[in-house]
A and B are shown apart, each in its own frame.
Chain A
Amino acid sequence: MGEACTPVARRSSPADTARTVEAAWRRFDEVGAGAEGLNAFLAVDREARAPDTLGGALHGVPVAVKDNLVTLGLPTTCGSRLLEGYVSPYEATAVERLRAAGAVIIGKTNLDEFGMGSTTEFSAFGPTRNPLDRSRVPGGSSGGSAAAVAAGIVPIALGSETGGSVRQPAAFCGVVGVKPTYGRVSRYGLVAYASSLDHVGVFGATVADAARALAVMAGPDPRDATALAAPPPDFLAAVAGVPALPGTSALAGLTVGVPREYFPEGLDARVRARCHGAIEGLRALGATVREVSLPHTALAIPAYYIIAPAEASSNLARFDGVRFGRRVPAASLRDMLEHTRAQFGAEVTRRILLGTYVLSAGYYDAYYRQAQRVRAAITADFTRVFADGIDVLFTPTAPTVAPALGALTDPYTMYLGDCFTVPANLAGIPALSVPVGRVEGLPVGGQLMAPHGADARLVAVAARLEAALGREAHQ
């Protein structure tokens, strides 16, 4: 744990991350995390202090929160002009539990508007830049949170996922990103995008950091009907005493599945090489590695980009200037509604229209119903391989390293970048991205996926892989 005085690009390891509020602000200023620099934060609270009561599991730990989780005392904009200046009268369960554990919420982080995007370029308040190469995107939609952790400002940041918005930016920024099982962390206070796919996720400088946050946040919540009723697993035990050194048998008895559909011919050769290195690392820890097939993987993107916009078109109906959103006055009610909602940015508008289209009379069966059937098939693929003796799956998190700002101009090309992360959201299973190396200074993430509910297994395997790969994977 240091004071983190090294430039971002030369930060030597996750241990350099600031772990006190004072150090976090020093780091914030050193790296220029504000609007003129990384543009990682949309609001900050420089007065925030650790609670007087000692003993919380995260006492005094600075934490950043994605700006689509509602917070008391700080605005929640969702990266949208529509919600500029909005302050919620209540707080998200995940944030409430972090504060109760002594965490200090230092600010709200930038995101693609309402979580719709994969680069953080669709924020109404300008793009976030990747701390490792400021000419590149940090990924999205939780790009601000990923950048805040990667820059060494905070060891823990909250994100949210609908199709990979934690894991993909974690991969692009060289940090750890976890999407737990659907319902493991309450969605109460997470502004809804696509409710059947939305998750609260977490970024950590290390797997252990992410596990510490999950240990505090996970668990039933009567205010979220989709929260799992089962008690959460012991995340701290999963990362305790990780003995991993290359050559040990820390993963003896574990069977890792490598799905061939996640290593297509078009995969960036450098990403493939780093992932194969990680697979060798798993073998060196004693794991058995087996190739498997998830045959409906190629249909995940079209299914997702029907289901998610369909749900979004309904969820975002509340931003109408009556219930929520800055009203644009007009002569008639109809004009007021339409001009208020015209404040949505380009990508949100595109998805609302797409969702409305696929749900409209005559197209529902061809698109939405078919997409739901594909979703069930993708879920069944996972169920089958896990029932067949696979304990965890290993894949690349993203098919490329972080692209340059402005490089993705075609919407569908951007959507394809989510091809490896979307399936876990469709199936509701836990998944995680951990750094597995770098290509010309840019991080590559490896993804682990586990059966529904096996969050602790996922974290335990990732912690051991992280330890085995060592500092090099973060550099």
Chain B
Amino acid sequence: MTGDPVASVVVSEEEVRRVAALARVAIDEEALPALAADLGGILAHMAQLRAFAEDDAPSASVPSGMPWRADLPRDAGAAPASASVTLLAIAPSQQDGFFLVPQVVAHAAGHEPVAEGA
């Protein structure tokens, strides 16, 4: 896939081979067409996520993807700080609820790192 990764959802057999190699899973050659079709079909549905625009982002204080860090509701009483919050407080560097650590894995030429500084 090239360009906008969600605009096109045709997954080639070569891409399935590449992903299978990353995942360390041997795939039979004869299974490749069906897997490519399955993944392409599933990812086509995922294109719905494009409907979610930047403006829709909630202003809630719950960190993205970590709803269990939300305060307990009105009938649950005050909870002590979780272990993860305590650990984050003493981390040398943190961002958005994650530890920031030095990058230790180099990426192949032509591929961008997953997250800057992650």
Closest to B74 in A: A451
Which residues on A sit within 8 Å (CB–CB) of B66?
A: 196
Tell me which residues across on chain A come within 8 A of B62, comparing CB atoms: 376, 379-380, 383
A230–B42 Cα gap in the complex (Å)? Answer: 39
Q: Is the CB of B112 within 8 A of A377?
A: no
A276-315 to B contact mask, C-beta < 8 Å, 1/0:
0000000000000000000010110111011100000100
Cβ–Cβ < 8 Å partners of A235 in chain B = none
Asked if B64 contacts A298 (CB within 8 A), the reply is: no
Of A317, A335, A367, A377, the residue contacting B58 (CB under 8 A) is A377
Name A's B-contacting residues (CB within 8 A): 181-183, 196, 225-226, 228-230, 233, 296, 298-299, 301-303, 305-307, 313, 317, 320, 334-335, 337-339, 341-342, 344, 349-350, 352-354, 356-357, 359-364, 366-367, 370-377, 379-380, 383, 386, 410-412, 415, 426-429, 451-454, 456-457
Taking a contact as CB atoms under 8 Å apart, the answer to whether B52 and A350 are in contact is no
* Contact yes or no, B67 A377, CB < 8 A: no
Tell me whether B46 and A302 are in contact (CB under 8 A): yes
Contacts of A320 in B (CB 8 A): 24
How many B residues touch the partner, as a band? 35 or more
Q: Whole-angstrom distance from the CB of A218 to the nearest CB of chain B?
A: 12
Instruction: Say what secondary structure dominates the interface of chain A.
Output: helix
Nearest opposing residue in chain B for A372, CB measure: B65
Q: Which residues does chain B contribute within 8 Å of A375, judged by CB atoms?
A: 64-65, 67
Closest approach, in angstroms, between the C-beta of B55 and any C-beta of chain A? 11
Contacts of B59 in A (CB 8 A): 380
A299 to B24, CA, bound (A): 30
Q: A229-B82, A357-B39 are in contact. Are A349 and B25 (CB under 8 A)?
A: yes
Tell whether A356 pairs with B58 under 8 Å between CB atoms, given A302-B49, A305-B42.
no
Interface string of B8-37 (1 = CB under 8 A from A): 000100011001101111110000000100
Complex A-B: 11 CB contacts under 8 Å: A228-B82, A307-B65, A335-B26, A349-B27, A357-B39, A360-B19, A366-B5, A375-B67, A386-B73, A426-B67, A453-B76
A415 contact set on B, CB distance < 8 A? 42
Q: Is the CB of B67 within 8 A of A367?
A: no
Q: Which of B35, B56, B82, B83 contacts A350 (CB 8 A)?
A: B35
B84 within 8 A of A: yes
The smallest beta-carbon distance between A319 and chain B, in angstroms, is 10
A376 x B57 contact (CB < 8 A): yes
Compute how far the CA of A357 lies from the CA of B39 in the bound complex, rounded to whole angstroms. 9
**Quick one: CB contact mask for B40-64 with A, threshold 8 Å, 1 for yes?**
0111011111111000111110111
Question: Chain B, 66-95, contact with A by CB distance < 8 Å: what is the 0/1 string?
Answer: 111010111111011111100000000000
Among B26, B50, B62, B113, the one with the most A-chain Cβ atoms within 10 Å of its Cβ is B26
Q: By the criterion CB–CB under 8 Å, are A357 and B26 in contact? A: no
Q: For residue B73, which residue of chain A has the nearest CB?
A: A451
Which partner residue on chain B sits nearest A341 by CB separation?
B25
Residues of B near A307 (CB, < 8 A) are: 65
Question: Within 8 Å CB of B67, what residues of A?
Answer: 182, 375-376, 379, 426-429, 452
A404 and B76 CA atoms in complex are apart in Å by: 42
A367 to B6 CA separation, bound complex (whole angstroms) = 8
Closest Cβ neighbor of B66 among chain A residues:
A196
Q: Which residues of B contact A456 (CB under 8 A)?
A: 75
Q: Which residues of B contact A335 (CB under 8 A)?
A: 26
Asked if A342 and B26 make an inter-chain contact with CB atoms under 8 angstroms apart, the answer reads: yes
Contact assessment for B52 and A377 in the assembled complex, using a CB-CB cutoff below 8 Å: yes
| Bound CA span A298–B31, Å | 32
B115: CB under 8 A from chain A?
Answer: yes
Given contacts A299-B51, A305-B45, A376-B64, 5 further A-B contacts (CB under 8 A): A225-B83, A228-B82, A230-B77, A339-B26, A356-B19
| Chain A residues, Cβ within 8 Å of B48 | 298-299, 302
A residues near B49, Cβ cutoff 8 Å:
299, 302-303, 306, 367, 370-371, 374
* Cβ contacts under 8 Å, B58 to chain A: 376-377, 379-380
B23 touches A453 (CB 8 A): no
Q: Nearest chain B CB to A432's CB is how many angstroms away?
A: 16
A362 touches B112 (CB 8 A): yes
- Complexed CA–CA distance, A305 and B41 (Å): 13
| Chain B, Cβ-Cβ closest to A309 | B42
A373, B73: Cβ atoms closer than 8 Å: no
Closest B residue to A450 by beta carbon equals B73
Distance in angstroms between the alpha carbons of A301 and B45 in the assembled complex: 9
Q: A374 contacts which chain B residues (CB < 8 A)? A: 49, 52
Return the contact of A454 from the options B50, B52, B76 (Cβ within 8 A).
B76
- What string of 1s and 0s marks CB contacts (under 8 Å) between B86-118 and chain A? 000000000000000000000100011111000
Q: 3 tightest A-B contacts by CB?
A: A380-B58, A453-B76, A338-B26
